[in-house]
Amino acid sequence: MSANPSLLVRALLGDDTPLRTDLLALALTHRSAGRANNERLEFLGDAALGLVMAEALWSRFPDADEGELSRRRAALVNKDSLAAVARELRLGDYLRLGPGELRTGGHARDSILADALEALIGAVYLDCGLERVRDMVLRLFAERLARVAGEDAVKDPKTRLQEWLQGRRRPVPEYSVVDVSGAAHDQQFAVTCRLADTGAESRGLGSSRRRAEQDAAGRMLAELQAGSHD
């Protein structure tokens, strides 16, 4: 750990409540660094996070059926959103990684960050209990919970673009990969989204083809909505 872990605990819990140093160290240790690592805590934290989010959505959306609640939870609890929260906490500065992961930038990889955040949730659960986990998760995810209150928030940009076009009886867009750059472990995809009826194009970037397509679709939808008067 290259930074003061007490600062991380303060950011997690919102105060100066201590967290057991053995649990904290374990939660921040990737499997590449040794046999004693955060995978078991990650398993526990994933379950605690899922429960808190399910409970929060159940309370906030009393008329939603199981399918809608599941979609909203998926929009909240996924690798991208967990990694984003982890970056807000500067979690990568505290990780203990093996030499290989250090060389290849593992401290910035979405999967490693997301897993470490879940492991920290597991550590807090073991040391402080579910109520403290609930308080922590609802605070860390407050803005994201607010965003999923809108129906569109649970639909990805490709779905929203397709629905926007179909509602106007226009053909679905076409996506093409135009460039792939970077090393194998850190690739960057460039994708175009093209409208067959007008030839209009947008370009999206992402660490996978799917993310690049979503980025391109979001940009296209924003352009269409900006120019629409209906």
By annotation, the residues acting in catalysis are: 46, 118
Phi-psi region of 199 (alpha: psi -120 to 50; beta: other; left: phi over 0): left
Cα–Cα dist 161/201, whole Å: 13
Q: Over 10-78, what HEC string results?
A: HHHHCCCCCCCHHHHHHHCECHHHCCCCCHHHHHHHHHHHHHHHHHHHHHHCCCCCHHHHHHHHHHHCC
Residue linked to tokens 């919102």: 14
Residue linked to tokens 């990889």: 109
63 is in an annotated binding site: no
Residue linked to tokens 């929060």: 56
152 is in an annotated binding site: no
Q: Are 178 and 190 in contact (CB under 8 A)?
A: yes
115 is in an annotated binding site: yes
Q: Binding site: residue ranges?
A: 42, 115, 118
Where is the binding site for Mg(2+), in residues?
42, 115, 118
